[in-house]
Each structure stands twice: as C-alpha cells, then as structure tokens.
Structure 1
C-alpha cells in the first residue's frame, strides 16, 4: 500500500512537471530563487546603473565607453571557481543609505591596469607590470565615482536617496581556498555580467556579485513591496472611524462658527461721524521743488597723496564661457574648457572690476606679463 503512494518529493516534481529530475533538485531550486520577472527587474537596475556609470567613466578616461545589456544568473562561489581560473580584482561596494547591503564588482587585472594608466595620464598600454597599490587606489576612485553616479539614477528609480561608502579594491583568486569575500563557498549569489568596451583598449566582461537576499530586497523595493508592520484596518472599522470623525468634525465646525459669530458681534462698533471733520476746509497747494541747475561746483585742492596708498586690484581676463550645471559636474582632470576669445585677440584689463584697458600677453623671464596696448576712455568703460 505504501509503495503505491507518492512521496512529497514526487508530488513536488509532478507539480513542476519535472518528474525526471527527482533526486537532483539543487539546480531547479537554484533557478527558482529568482523568477523571470525578478531577474528582469535586476537586469533593469543594472542596466540603468551601468548606463550612468559608463558616462562617468568616459569623463574620467577620455575614451568612448560602452557597457552592454546585463545578463542575470544564480550561481555560487564554487561554480565561479571552476569557470574563472585567473586572478581578478574585486571592488567591494557598501550601501549605507536607502539600501542596506554589500556587493562586489569583479574586473580583470589587465583591465584595471589599463584604467589606472589612463587615469594617470597614460595611453592605456602600460600593463606589462605587476598590479600595485596605485592601480587599486585608481580603480577604487573610478568605481567610487561610477557607483556614486549610478546611485543618483537609482535614487530616481526607487524615489528615495541612495548613497554608498567609499569602495575598497583588492585582488582575488576564485580558485583559492582562502578568498576574502562576503560569500560562503556554496551560498547562492546573483551574478550580473556586463560586456565593457573602452575605446580600442578593453573589450571584456565585468561582473557584479550580489547576495541573494540583498538582490531580492532590491526587487521588492523596486516593485513597491514595503515591509509595513501596521495591521490593515477592516472595512467595518474604517466605516466606524469615518462616522466618528465625521460627527466630531461637524461638532467642531458648529462650535467654531458659533464662537466666531459671537466674537464678531462683540467687536463690531457702530460708525461714528464727526461733523467738525466733515466741515473742516482742506487747503491744497502746488508742490514746489528746489532747482539744482545753477548749483556751484565745489572743487577740492587736496593732493592725491591722500589716497595713493589705497590698493587697487588689477585683473586680466583671458576669456569667458557659459556652461550648464550638468556639463560642469562632468568635469575632471584633463577636461578642456573653450573660451569666447580668439587666438591673438586683446585681453581685457580691469581695475577693481572696472574695464580700463586692453593688452597682450608677454613673457618676462619665467613669468607671464601683460603689455597695455589701449586705454579705454571713461565713456566706453563698462563695469562687468
């Protein structure tokens, strides 16, 4: 009799339509940790984040940057150790505001060297060397700005502020037994992989490793599933509360109107007329103004020595330009700002902010100087 009954494992397999997979449910359980909708949501989060990050990286490196649509997969550290044998660089990112959790960004060691070389003013080809602290510091700063800019996009997506702590970079080896990571060897994690292309220098994969619980939390918050411990009010309770509040409001309005009416009645005074004021004649005269046309000019003969010690700030303006705040936020080391001056055009010289002369740049020994070429007449001076 017992042999004819299905076990719970067989019932579950029949409901899933995977009777042939009985006894090997680890893979199916892993795939059920996130459904397709949740994976799409994580992909969209990664897509928006990396889209903003690519713009920031372009500003830092002055190279065209393209990051493709992400791929989401459930995996473990054991599986990663079998897929990736070479050492990598991990950047640990901790969210401190808005989201609570930690994830890892994984990049190839050579890619980190290229990015660090570009950030330090090189051409990105100096990679035939060992990874050093300067490389880790440079990639930490790059990721700090990239993830920082992506937090701005995530804040708009989640409708509240999201911020991170300064990222930390270190070298890892997935095949090593002693890995300084956040995950256990068999713990399920979410791998979000991207293809990153930087000019003609980099065309490889970067990964974002997210704890499964943190990934599920992000999806819930994106879909509006907030943890509210308050009990929902039942329809009858809501109806009773509505009646009580309606009666209370009606009583308060009636009392308030009565008090206001009595107060107004007490404060109203009957108008009193003063016949004497009405009968008083009004004297109207035309206004007379003093004339200053023939005023004598007063001159002072004191010497200019009285004020010759007062300092006057002389400023030479090379040129000006106007930019939007969005463009200014993208400025970084190496950014070139084009001014409104043409080559060879005279410079403007100001005294305490007042335009007084024009000049040209000269070199005196090792210093720059300005030779005055034209003095502006007082009638043409414009204070800028």
Structure 2
C-alpha cells in the first residue's frame, strides 16, 4: 500500500507539548475518500489520550482530533456516497468490523467484532497501522465512515458536532427528549452547551445544573428554561423528583445519589463524562422510584448523520473560538481551566 505524508500536530510523549510533524496517509483505495481538513475541534478526550490518562494512548506520536470538518478533494473509483467538493465530517471512528450485530444495526460505536471500533486516532486500522486524527491537513477515510455536513452549518461550527454534538444527541434521542419532557443538563461546557441547544430544539423543557451561576446568561441564551447552581444545597431540595432525564456531561466526581434524587419515577440519569475513579451509588437511590443509571457513547454513522441533518434544519452549530495550530498547547491549558466558551476549533490552514 502506497502512502504520502501530510503535516500534522502531534504529541511525541505523554509529557510533551504538541508539535508540528509529518505523518503518513494511505493513498485512497477503491472506497476511500481524501478529505482536505478545514477545521478540527479540540475535545477533552484528546487531552486525556495524549497524556496517557485513560490507560490508552498507544504508540507515540499521537495526532489527536476526532471532530473533523472538511471538503472532499479526491475519491476512489468505487465511491458512491460522496463526490469531490462535498462538505463532509469525520467523527470518533473511521472503521469497524461491519459484520457484528451492533455494526449491522448502525451502532458501530458498540462494535463487538474482532476489529472493534477503530478510533480516528491512536488506534490500529485494518492495515495494521496507527490511525492519525484531525490535527492535520488531510485524512483518508472509507466512504462508509464519512458524514455529510448540511449547507446550513458553517464548517468551523460543524466540527464539534462530530463528537460533542452526537455524544449528547444520542441519549436525548434514545430516551426521547421532546415536548412534555423535563430534561436537565449537568455542566455547561463543550458537551453541555450542545446538549442545551439540541434538547431545546427537540422541544423539551431544559434545565442547566452548573456549579455556579457564572454562565447563567449563556445558558438561557442557548435555550435553557431554567438554570440552577449545584453548589447551593437548596437546589436539590427545590428540584427533588423533577426530571424525566438528566444528562451528565462532566467528568468530575459528583455525588450521584443527590442527582438521582432529582429524577421522577422511571427517570434516567445518563453518564457521558468519564471520571478516572468508579462512581459510588446507594442502591436505594435507584430502587425507591425505579430510577435508572445509564451510560451512552457517541453514536453510530446513521444516527450521527441524523444529528447533523437535525442541526442543519434547526440552524445549530457549536459556539466556538477558532485558533491557529500554534495555539493548541495554550488551548489545552485553557480547556483544563474551563476557560473556553464552548469549543476550541483549529483552523487547519495554519498547520
């Protein structure tokens, strides 16, 4: 298999700042698409992975980035889904086994086959090579794992939808957020701000549960009906038994029992953030009102396309701060300090 190289920003070790290098990309095969990357979002997962914090990371150098928006610049002879010039996106994975029950159901993120879900970066592809992500100028991806970005969404604001957008859309759709449903979003960050926009567009009554009221004006502007500070114990008294669905977007250790107490009978708390340590739950927090504690991870290709189309119809994109590639390391520190409203997006032209 022949390759060419492209510029990228990579971490050479867990402690190292990201720096500009070149990485190999395969020549497009029969069903491959060569994408000129225009924008790549910075996801908290990128930071966890390059710093080896999830016990993952794999071989260095690691080129992160799984919120990719760009334009098709070449297609293989057998490609039918996309043509040169199309606006496209790539999310958290670029392949899967394609034959297991999950893949056949369009739930590739839960692939149980031998290949498994092949992450967009720091994973091993079918060719045995390490995948490199979106902090680069170009990427080659099988057409079955490439999404259409509707014309109504600017490419820079669309990039974070490929991870942050689908991560919140999937549980909101699965647990049927909509008119007559009361939904709470815990945390107003990269995921949370999209959760508010999408739940509001679905017709749900939306409440933000944030540590403080610092971002209250933003929350209400984004579509929240109510905004409460979780640092105030009165919040948990006032909202006891209120919600049909709570989506927890934060990766911090929180007192789950307190949050479970906010659910109605048959309500569900969905965990999206991945804290480093196990989360304790008192059985009676679940038993007493038939409450559920659940998890959810991104979405499959069909659902991700549905999410993009939904966002296109409702004019939804992420609230972003576009940066140059030489600002990536500074942006990482700002993400860790929660100093971004609400997603950094790298302008790939600066790589």
Alignment TM class, shorter chain as reference: under 0.3
Please state which structure has a larger fraction of its residues in helix.
Answer: 1
Structure number having the greater strand percentage: 2
TM-score normalised per structure 1: 0.18
